[in-house]
Each structure stands twice: as C-alpha cells, then as structure tokens.
Amino acid sequence: MTSDGFTTCLWFDGQAEEAAAHYVSVFKNSRLGRITHYGEGAPQPAGSVLTVDFVANGQNFVALNGGPEFKFTEAISFQILCDDQDEIDHYWNSLTEGGGEGGPCGWLKDRFGVSWQVVPKELIEMISDPDPRKAARATAAMMAMGKLDLAELRKAYAGE
C-alpha cells in the first residue's frame, strides 16, 4: 500500500476476507495485502479477521470486519468504465454472481451489498453529445436497460 492518494475502507459484517478475495479475482491489477486480526478484549472474537488490505484495479482498499451496525447503500457506488461488451459482461456477471442483483441503467449490487455502475466508456460521450437529440436517444435507451447493451446504445444514439 502507498501513502499517496486515498484508501477506501469498506465495512463488512464478517465477510471482509471473502469480499477482498472476490474483488481481487474480478479485477486486473489486483492483489491481496496484509491481514490483521482482532486481539483479546476486542468487540469481535480474538483471532478473527479485523482488516484485509487489497488493491483492486489499481485502487487501494481496506476491508474491515466492523460488525452489523452499518450497511452499504446506493449513495456510494464504484463506476467501472468498460471498453467493450465483453468487459461489460465480465464485470456484470462476476459482480452479480453468488447473490448479487442487477439494477437499472447499468447499476448492480454485489453479494456483499456494494453498489457498482458498469458503464461503456462510449456512453459518456453519447450522453454528452452536443446534439441534444442524439444525447436524449442514448439516455432514453440507457434508462430502459438493466445491464447495458453497447450495440443497442449505439443504435439508439444513431437514431436507428
């Protein structure tokens, strides 16, 4: 881990090690780091995992087993910008497997309750096009989708 930039802390209720291993398996440029454990007199059983440092897609994270007090919400999500449909499918399928659920407009929740946006890079250009008709068509198509279909977005953008 580096002292540069930010490290995102994700609060889990006993699943920190499982979640970190899952995210490392999903993203390139990822690795597990240090694992710390609770000691005697801690709020969790002595020897149980306290934190797991990991890097996912080049970003620093720490997974913390803090207990049931806090839950993830859609107010915070991670956006994954994808080059093509294969990438969209990979991330969508990998992050929804094992109990995750798809949502609208490319959003999903993984099995740990963390929210993700799986978005083709092209969509950002489409919805910010200076031609308001093109942008509106792309936006309307996106709003009607769960997992984003790049070919369909391109058709809507082109007016086909």
Predicted confidence (pLDDT) per residue in 87-100, tens digit: 999 999 999 999 99
The ranges assigned to domains in the chain are 7-65, 77-158
Position 39 scores a pLDDT of: 96
Assess whether the region 7-65 and the region 77-158 belong to the same CATH fold: no
Looking at domain 7-65, which CATH architecture does it have?
A: 2-Layer Sandwich (3.30)
Position 97 scores a pLDDT of: 97
Average pLDDT over residues 5-28: 97
List Cα–Cα distances, 146 to 24, 75, 88, 96, 107, in angstroms.
Answer: 25, 18, 12, 12, 7
Average pLDDT over residues 72-84: 97
Helices (H), 41-96: 85-96
Q: What is the pTM of this model?
A: 0.92
Position 24 scores a pLDDT of: 98
Q: What is the mean pLDDT of the chain?
A: 96
pLDDT tens figures, 36-61: 999 999 989 999 999 999 999 999 99
Task: State which CATH number among 2.60.40.420, 1.10.10.10, 3.40.50.2300, 3.10.180.10 fits the domain covering 77-158.
Answer: 3.10.180.10
CB count within 10 Å of CB 67 equals 12
The residues, any chain, with a CB within 8 Å of residue 127's CB and separated by 6 or more, are 135, 138, 139, 142
Average pLDDT over residues 8-32: 98
- Is 12 within 8 Å of 63 (Cβ atoms)? yes
pLDDT confidence band for 5 (50 / 70 / 90)? confident
**What does residue 77 show for φ and ψ, rounded to 5 degrees?**
-145, 160
Length of the chain: 160
Percent of the chain surpassing pLDDT 90: 96
